[in-house]
A and B are shown apart, each in its own frame.
Chain A
Amino acid sequence: MKNKMVMFLLAAIALIALPLFAQQFGQGWVRIMALALLYVLLALGLNIVVGYAGLLDLGYVAFYAVGAYMYALLASPHLSENFAWIASMFPNGLHAPVWIIVPLAALLAATAGVLLGTPVLKLRGDYLAIVTLGFGEIIRVFLNNLEQPVNITNGPRGLDRIDGMHLFGLDFGKALMIGDFRIPSVTMYYYLFLFLVVFSVIICHRLETSRIGRAWMAIREDEIAAKAMGINTRNMKLLAFGMGASFGGISGAMFAAFQGFVSPESFSLMESVMIVAMIVLGGLGHIPGVILGAVMLSALPEVLRYVAGPLQQLTGGRLDASILRQLLIALAMIGIMLSRPRGLWPSPEHGKAAPAPLPKPAG
């Protein structure tokens, strides 16, 4: 027990000190780490849906997009520039506070999830995969085209000039000076995301051991048996779907604030597949595994950048970093499913820990 506490403290100190150390080598490194944390957040959310409840959601990025566009619309001059009545209500431009936008983004994403889930959740899981995939595409088509006749999403050009985060009087868009020590904006976002990840891990962990979490896992293992045990499978599935979606919405809002720019390109099907690949690779339904998968896959392109240059020359421009990444992800998905179907760091199996066979009596 004492050892565990020490390990925890050491890990916490390492995570807090990491960006301060990394920013010596350039802010790009801190940026990569912050994005990795954002992916961890997304993966934790999808893990609720796929890992705990066993519902394959291939349009997860749609909820991410909903959150991101929600933030972008409510915290950028776009709406007040395009609609006179909004401009007259908010003469200084629409800059809604974070405390309104983020819960709204979560709520909207959760509503979208529940609405989408209601017709299909009573059907077989395969249908859900296809419908969510289609939903992801629908959202993208709308984001791309909702600039006519009224300009809402600004089409493929995307929305820019998005406000940064403002929390407790802190402006995350500017560097913070503590005495002589300078904490750049990226590092502050890193801390914000770190806080959210830790918070989400606690939520997920509590969920996992709660009545709800156990109900989800029962549904995942055998839906008919779960029903027979008195679990309201439909509501439980909807709850998983809505909860996962709200994680996606919050991550989306964070993404918009962090980047200051959103466009439909960031919400392609490939992104959904990436997030699924992260949790599958790491270990479905196991929080440390999911975090491992998310960090690995989001850091992969940065590592590949160093290999890709020579490789590109060697293959005459056929293999660049992004293609190589896609190839590795595809191979990993197939390979892991065939050889280690439960992921790199799977959760310990319950109920299968049979007592070790007694040693044979000698002689």
Chain B
Amino acid sequence: MTIVQRAGRVDAADRANGSDAASKPQRKRGTGARAGVVRGIADRRLAEVLPVLDDLGAAELRRRVAAAPEPRPFALRLAEPGLHLIAEIKRRSPSAGRIAADADDVLARARAYEAGGAAAISVLCEPQWFGGSIEDLASVRAAVTSPVLAKEFVVDPRQLDLLRGTGADAVLLLAVLHRGRALTRLVDRALDLGLEPLVEAHDERELETALATNARVIGINNRDLRTLDVDPERAGRLRAGIPEDRVAVAESGVRDAGTIRGWRALGFDAALVGETLVRAGDPGATARAFVAAGRLPDDPVEASRAPFVKICGITDEAGVEAAVRAGADAIGLNLVPGTPRALSMDEAVALAAHARRIASPSKAPAIVPITVDRSADDLNAIAAALDADAIQLSGDERPTLLTKLDRPAWKVIHLPPASEASSSTSSVNGSAPSGDGRVAAEAIKRAQAFVDAGAARILLDTSGGKHPGGTGRRAEPHAVAAVARELAVTLAGGLDPSSVGHALRASAAVGVDVASGVEAPRAKGDRPRKDALKVALFAKRAREARIDRPNLPARPTPVNAGLIDADGRGWWGAERSFGGRYVPETLMGALVELEDAYTALRHDPRYWSELRELLATFVGRPTPIYRADRLAALILDRARAAATGPGGTGSAVPGSLRLYLKREDLAHTGAHKINNALGQALLTRRLGKTRVIAETGAGQHGVATATACALLGLPCVVYMGAEDIERQQPNVLRMHALGAEVRAVTSGSATLKDAINEAMRDWVTNVRTTHYVLGSAMGPHPYPTIVRDLQRRIGDEAAVQILGAEGRLPDLALACVGGGSNAIGLLQRFVGEPGVRLAVAEAAGDGITTGRHAAALAGGSPGILHGTRSMMLQDRDGQVVEAVSASAGLDYPGVGPQLSGLYEAGRLELAASTDEDAFEAMAFTAETEGILPALETAHAIAALPRLLAGIEGRGSAYPADVLVLLGFSGRGDKDLASFGKWRERGGSASGDDANAVHEA
């Protein structure tokens, strides 16, 4: 009753304002003409509804509101993970005229939308222009179980009562029609009625007005309602202007599912789609396609990067329900006497039981009591009473306490709170001022002591509050980032739905914890309670913070930063001594342009989301990992033979080998090269360039680039050494078939390096129209970063896959290396994992000692090649020495700057395989596993026995049950001609090894 009375008051107030809600504001802004179409509709609507509302009278409206069905949650539904479809029903529109037949069955359409997965149905109520009616609203509401949005031109506050009374769950309010105060009153009145207002804006000014209200759901309409013009990029531009603690809806201008996917990537929670759906032949199928496009990517790599979310300080069953519905990973129950959220033991036990009752067993949150400075006996008793999954220690406990606890311990480490001035200066790659460095170093030391004592989780909170356990304030971002870089930490303190995404993007933290940031406003003295929408949005913003941002760190990388990423000028390595940009001045403009474009794209979720879709549907990612047991047994035998044979060290060879192949040979076009080519082809489009050039050695990069260009309709010229054309004929034919022009390069050694020279010359000449799709993680800055970023998926996927299969990361990750794109793509994920050894197999050609090889790391020195300073083969005059290898893909005299830096720092172990070794490995791999590796890949396989025997690499022993991940970079069809010649020369898989082993 009170609600209705209050609504009545607002009603009266608005009416006392005369036609505030109608024409006056527009005229006052001097926008009478600009108000255009929407004003005309609104004026007419006012004339229509006034007599209706007057006829009904306040009492009847109150009766209808009271009799209306309970509102269905609208905002909360849109706050679930991903982007949701609000499907609209209208018979016609002022922009498009009649779009649905009169006979169109509105209810069938609504049911089709719902069956297609729409989260809500929007129903036009305006009769004149849209052919809608309040009756449509009522019948649709009755026909579906989803919430229904009343798409109405609200010009009189009493319409809100009428709409709620008709069953509407949400209502559209147009910022263009109302001045700030009037809009605020309409929003508050709708909220009081339980009618969720969606406040729609079209430009910055309207958005400001919308955000000044209490509306929880904000829409951006790409269509200007004054002119009906659609600007499809507008929603994207304005998204950042909507704080993350509001539900954001994009409206109008949907071309296809790609538009929806882009909006999802940009962080919209919903898309309101009208015309495109209404015009679709099969509305259910179209809705289903749009719903699918709005879903979060089903990508195990993204899942592995999602942060852990803990909702702390829950005080009642509704709070438990909100946390469970939001998919929280943990629920914190506060047992610290005297603090606002403190529970009695009985309350805590009841809430823990409630959580376990309502959660599905597979997704049940961990139950964690929060304690301060309790004795071990107390803690064990608490844990037993709650059947706690872990115990949080938020006081001044000592590491020795952990040995006495029965359950896993989560330890809170405190940092001093940020001063107001410094809290706004965080950045992803910002360097920490020295004061923060000290603070961070101390926190790391304290945390490490608890990790060493067995703490299962470290939470990073701010110190100095009134109560022990947390202050609700943020710590200095630089210090937080520095700690999160070294240790797996969960951020706590001062987070809320609007800040959690940024906090996760600014540090490598593995989790977030929130208490006060997701609570409803309360009167002094009341116990805090969770706000379900805030809890849902917090979890959503946290989970989605790093999706489609693969280059943001999501876990600690406790190694020198120069081994992980280039600095701002493109220099790599612990001493920043590799990389840079050594090119003719003519190319500098293009490289700066490329750098600027890529800097913008590197963390642009729309780019990575588009690329992921192509990688999934076109390339076939993720590629599988395959456990090659027969090959492993053969390799182990060879390792034993090598260890005890001539030149052997006699060191212990592991007793067992579990060998996983990361199957890039199964990617479209048969090698990892497509990952980079496709990414750079998309980049070409973003750069506005109209022509693509590439170089190729084995032909795989040429084929991949030709493929990507065919897909995107770009003309493509591939430079290829004449010698490589000879030995890689099948790939030349493939490039021709794909419509690319292959230009033979006869200068120099007529191999890969000369093809690069010629491509660079073409680029120097055509730089204004042409993008050079460089094929390896080398060349002038920013190429090493671009190619590495595009290839890192190999290792990102493999890590998740091997964790899934084995429950741990590999002891050794191994790849073949030429320029290094496949190697760094596999290894990048593991550089910051101290437990994983990294090795590369170089091409030893005729043997390192013959001088006829392609081993730029083992047999080279630092120099400048193809625009970058890196390890390379050269003579004392700095002339480039021609590489020698039967493998065209490894036949290159340099290796990229990041791998050079890893090698210099001792993080990379080296092996080298001769042509003969590689052909032999091709043979025995094919014979034992039924997989024909590329000759390049075979170098890595051939090297593994020597690495395991300690003859190559660091030499130190591996675990007895060694787990190895091998980058299976490509398939060997292209090498069959050379393989056949090797066979003719008498080559074989060393007698009967291949068959003998497997009888054992």
A, B: real partners: no
Residues of chain A touching chain B, judged by Cβ–Cβ distance below 8 Å, are none
Residues of chain B touching chain A, judged by Cβ–Cβ distance below 8 Å, are none
